[in-house]
A = this chain, B = another copy of it.
Amino acid sequence: MRVCLTVAYDGTNYHGWQLQPNGITIESALNQALSDLLGETITVTGASRTDAGVHSLGNVAVFDTNTKIPAEKISYALNQRLPEDIVIQESREAAPDFHPRRCRSKKTYEYRILNRRFQDPTKRRNTHFYHYALDVKRMREAAQYLVGEHDFKSFCSVHSAAETTVRTIYSLKITKEDDVIAICISGSGFLYNMVRIIAGTLILVGNGTIDPKKIPDILDQKDRSAAGPTAPACGLTMLGIEFDGE
């Protein structure tokens, strides 16, 4: 059967999702724990191949197995074998042809900025500390220009191999609670580093460097250097994925 896992992790100590020749990754930790548990060689396929240091509450991985353990029980057994910074939230049987990167989906990410005078060490692992004042109203004004279907070439790492840089952002909401500014973005899919470049650009809008009304111009330029820097990985969390027809 094909099994679908919902995977949460604190990415601080991992070299990202994808298998690496050096360094432990979420994918390698899952493959090892699953192979040990099920007594067969398991290779998972992930929905979102998050970068080093990026966190998740709801990434999705699938794998095929001959086990007789009911799919929904695998989460409990697997959590006993995983390190404490990776926790399976759900396991269930999937359709035999389900592939988490080849079907239409809505992905949601959150970028969290800790905006205060000094670092809060209890939040340092999953926020980006930024100590200059940020104007959330300006950031919201800029954000509205990014919603919808656009060519996001300016917001894509030059290392990307994507065929097209057109993507659709369904929603982009910015909230502030105490000293944490959260940028929550849902879309059909994201280019390499796209959410972090959007966050880095919105920070420059918030601190007064970029005029909110310049965002359409930055999109039009289709040039990575027109946008702001790539914000640090630690602020980014993949919140979840909804698949079409589910």
Q: Which residues does A use to contact B, with CB under 8 Å?
A: 8-10, 55, 57, 75, 79, 84-90, 117-122, 124-126, 237
Give the docked Cα–Cα distance between A84 and B120 (Å).
Answer: 10
Q: Is the CB of A121 within 8 A of B84?
A: yes
Please name the residue on chain B nearest to A56 by beta carbon.
Answer: B122
Complex CA–CA separation, A122 to B125 (angstroms): 8
**Whole-angstrom CA separation of A125 from B10 in the bound complex:** 10
Q: What residues of chain B lie closer than 8 Å to A8, measured between beta carbons?
A: 118-122
Q: Which of B75, B87, B117, B124 contacts A121 (CB 8 A)?
A: B87
Q: When the two chains form their complex, are residues A87 and B120 in contact, meaning their CB atoms are under 8 A apart?
A: yes
Are A57 and B88 interface neighbours, CB within 8 A? no
CB closest residue in chain B, given A75: B118
Q: Give every chain B residue within 8 A of A122 (Cβ-Cβ).
A: 8-10, 55, 57, 125-126, 237
Residues of B within 8 A of A90 (CB): 118
How far, in whole Å, are A21 and B55 apart by their CA atoms in the complex? 37
Partner of A120, one of B57, B75, B117, B121: B57
CB distance from A84 to the nearest CB of B (A): 6
Contact of A87 among B79, B84, B87, B118 (CB under 8 A): B118
How far, in whole Å, are A50 and B56 apart by their CA atoms in the complex?
31
Q: Given contacts A85-B124, A87-B119, A87-B120, could you give 14 more A-B pairs where the C-beta distance is less than 8 Å?
A: A8-B119, A8-B120, A8-B122, A10-B122, A55-B122, A57-B120, A57-B122, A75-B118, A79-B119, A88-B118, A90-B118, A122-B125, A122-B126, A125-B125
- Taken together as a complex, chains A and B put the C-alpha atoms of A121 and B237 apart, in Å, by 12
In the bound complex, do residue A9 and residue B57 qualify as a contact, i.e. CB atoms below 8 Å apart? no
- In the bound complex, residues from chain B placing their C-beta under 8 Å from that of A89 are 117-118
When C-beta atoms are compared, the residue in chain B nearest to A124 turns out to be: B84
Q: How far apart are the CA atoms of A122 and B237 in the complex, in Å? A: 9
Q: Which residues of chain B have C-beta atoms less than 8 A from A118's C-beta?
A: 8, 75, 79, 87-90
